[in-house]
């Protein structure tokens, strides 16, 4: 028979709070049952519970079997997001949620299409469009000449990007390209605005 374990988060200490989901079910599928005895415990020790300090590290579990003919066991598991969060004292701090390891990243801008949030990361000679799906997931990589800064806005349901291009031949940037981003994530040049020495664009209504 299958064996079921419930993993429960109890009240933390030090000012932390529990999130909405504090329990998860771990199922160990039948493996020559009833031969052998199954148990689950933390890797560090065989205690039924373990206390860990918040430090962005993983807790590993052992699933062991004794007195059985087969020493392997199949385990189905999943994690639940937003299971716990906390603050130390009264100080509000930021934690790293996602990192982008790209040395050529220059600027970011964001827009919304049909309830979905998109981010645009400018690189040395291109831009990458990301869609928010719990994390930012890349959906398109587009070539753009020397992008420097980015401004995004919507007119109706259509997103627009204004890209200020970087220096050319030692001159200050002066070319600002207005693009419309199509449903297929293609850039359509709508207008070119040339202003000597311009370095940034802002949109307002």
**pLDDT digits over 62-72, tens only?**
766 666 555 56
Determine the Cα–Cα distance for residues 165 and 110; give it in Å rounded to an integer. 18
Residue 23 has a pLDDT of 84
Residue 44 has a pLDDT of 62
68-72, 100-104, 117-121: the lowest-pLDDT one: 68-72
* DSSP β-ladder status, 107-113 and 84-86: unpaired
| DSSP bridge pairs for 62 | 41
132: DSSP letter: E
- Half-sphere exposure of residue 203: CA atoms within 13 angstroms, side-chain side: 17
Instruction: Output the pTM of the full model.
Output: 0.51
Rounded CA Rg of the chain = 26
Average pLDDT over all residues of the chain: 77
Residue 34 has a pLDDT of 56
62-76, 89-103, 141-155: the lowest-pLDDT one: 62-76
Residue 171 has a pLDDT of 65
Determine the Cα–Cα distance for residues 169 and 172; give it in Å rounded to an integer. 9
**Mean pLDDT score, 13-29:** 79
Determine the Cα–Cα distance for residues 123 and 128; give it in Å rounded to an integer. 8
Q: How many residues does the chain have?
A: 205
**Mean pLDDT score, 5-18:** 81
pLDDT at 46 over 80: no
**Mean pLDDT score, 142-151:** 86
Residue 73 has a pLDDT of 61
Residue 110 has a pLDDT of 92
200 and 166 in contact (C-beta within 8 Å)? no
pLDDT band, residue 51 (cuts 50/70/90): low
| DSSP bridge pairs for 23 | 8
Q: Is the dihedral of CA 1, 80, 11, 96 positive or negative?
A: positive
3-17, 19-33, 100-114, 188-202: the lowest-pLDDT one: 19-33
Residue 102 has a pLDDT of 78
51 CB contacts (<8 Å, ≥6 apart)?
A: none
Residue 183 has a pLDDT of 80
24 CB contacts (<8 Å, ≥6 apart)?
A: 6, 7, 77, 78, 79, 80, 83
């Amino acid at each position: 028979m299958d064996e079921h374990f419930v993993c429960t988060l109890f009240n933390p200490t030090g000012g932390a709070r529990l999130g909405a989901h504090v329990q998860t079910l771990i199922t160990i599928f039948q493996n020559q049952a009833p031969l052998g005895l199954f148990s689950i415990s933390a890797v560090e020790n065989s205690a039924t519970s373990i206390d860990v300090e918040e430090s962005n590290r993983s807790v590993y579990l052992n699933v062991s079997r004794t007195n059985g003919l087969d020493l392997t066991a199949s385990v189905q598991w999943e994690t639940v997001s937003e299971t716990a969060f906390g603050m130390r004292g009264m100080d509000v701090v930021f934690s790293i949620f996602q990192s982008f390891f790209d040395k050529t990243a220059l600027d970011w801008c964001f827009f919304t299409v049909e309830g979905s949030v998109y981010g645009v990361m400018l690189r040395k000679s291109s831009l990458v469009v990301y869609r928010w799906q719990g994390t930012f997931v890349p959906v398109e990589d587009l070539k753009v000449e020397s992008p420097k800064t980015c401004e995004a806005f919507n007119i109706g349901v259509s997103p627009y990007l204004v890209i200020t291009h970087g220096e050319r031949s030692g001159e200050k940037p002066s070319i600002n390209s207005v693009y419309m981003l199509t449903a297929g994530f293609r850039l359509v040049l709508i207008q070119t605005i040339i202003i000597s020495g311009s370095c940034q664009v802002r949109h307002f209504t």
